[in-house]
Amino acid sequence: MSQESKAKLTYRDAGLDLEEYERTLASIAPLLKRTHSPRVISDSTSGKRGKKGGFFASLFSLDYNSRLFAKNYRRPVLVTCTDGVGSKLKIAGLMNKHDTVGIDLVAMSVNDCLCTGGEPLVFLDYLAMPKDDPDLTRNLIKGISDGCMEADCALVGGETAILPDFYQPGDYDMAGFCVGVVERAHIINGRSIQPRDVVLGLASTGLHSNGYSLVRKIVFDHAGLKVGDLVPELCRTVGEELLQPTRIYVRAVKNVLNHYPIKRGVIRGLAHITGGGLVDNISRVLPAGRRVFIRRGSWEVPPVFGWLRSLGNIDQAEMDRVFNQGIGFVMIVSPYYVANIQSQLAEDRVASYVIGEVREGDAGVESVN
């Protein structure tokens, strides 16, 4: 046996430096801590994300300030959501800018949680990369932490998987997991939607995190553009536009729900507009016998959508099916409270539009001019 074959192998030889990994965990601990409220039990953050020697799981108290919790939740129901960012991560890689896609990760799950009327409580993440990269990890966690701050939920733990044989150098993937709570009697499920109810569309910040496989096909393969190219009609570069973070609607919508609790019958249905656009996502909350008619031209469509459609010669039906078209969240509400709800949303700096109405008919969504 040769001298070389007798060499002692270590985990570092396989692609993971444990000492460097521990230093990375220590450096991101403050990014978790700043999202914590007193309901996160002190020192319970998972040792996989926080400090060496931490718990195997994170603990979150449901009886902190018990009088408030008892007032709001007599029959609490847990809400669970999970999602990823998709190929928007490719744009982050091309830009070498990784501190905003974490916001997208949080947004995709907490906005889903919100559709039940639920309050996001805690968030966890999963990161996978080919080798330990402390700077990349810190940037990703920074974005996740920023998103959790905006969503008023605690980042309580996560996992970083170093998988040298699964990913090419420079690649990584991420997934997020949200746990929320809703009072059983306050669950919003769309069953109370009535004819003449109004469809309110809440403005998106642009593409959010959907349709990026088509976006990359249009922009890079078909048009041959680079992330640093300036797009005059957008007044920014390709990369700056495509990395705009997904809007988090939690505070704005929670404020409306707190003002108009479900028992008053004002808020009938909620939908997060992701892949499938307005048609598919609104349809998910409609009961039998209720049809939504969306009026084209009733809201301001961000210029990125017209730019993409023209650049790729995309049919309008395909645009509607893939992208949010400028509406990131929908509230179906009683017609008598529309002006008040819109005013309240404006106080939280969320533009909203009356984009349609509910009528009797086969469950589904139809666009009209």
Question: How far, in Å, CA of 75 to CA of 201, rounded?
Answer: 31
* CA–CA distances in Å: residue 272 to residues 32, 75, 98, 275, 279: 26, 25, 24, 10, 11
Give the model's pLDDT for residue 361.
94
Query: What SS3 class is residue 274?
Result: coil
At 8, list the tokens.
């002692």
Question: How far, in Å, CA of 337 to CA of 345, rounded?
Answer: 12
Question: How far, in Å, CA of 212 to CA of 205, rounded?
Answer: 15
Question: How far, in Å, CA of 159 to CA of 174, rounded?
Answer: 10
Give the model's pLDDT for residue 7.
72
Give the model's pLDDT for residue 56.
78
Give the model's pLDDT for residue 309.
95
Give the model's pLDDT for residue 65.
62
Question: How far, in Å, CA of 67 to CA of 308, rounded?
Answer: 52
Task: Using 50 as the pLDDT threshold, list the residues of the chain that sit under it.
Answer: 1
Question: How far, in Å, CA of 36 to CA of 319, rounded?
Answer: 40
Among 262, 282, 279, residue whose Cα is nearest residue 271: 282
Q: Model pTM?
A: 0.91
- Chain-centroid distance, C-alpha 67: 31
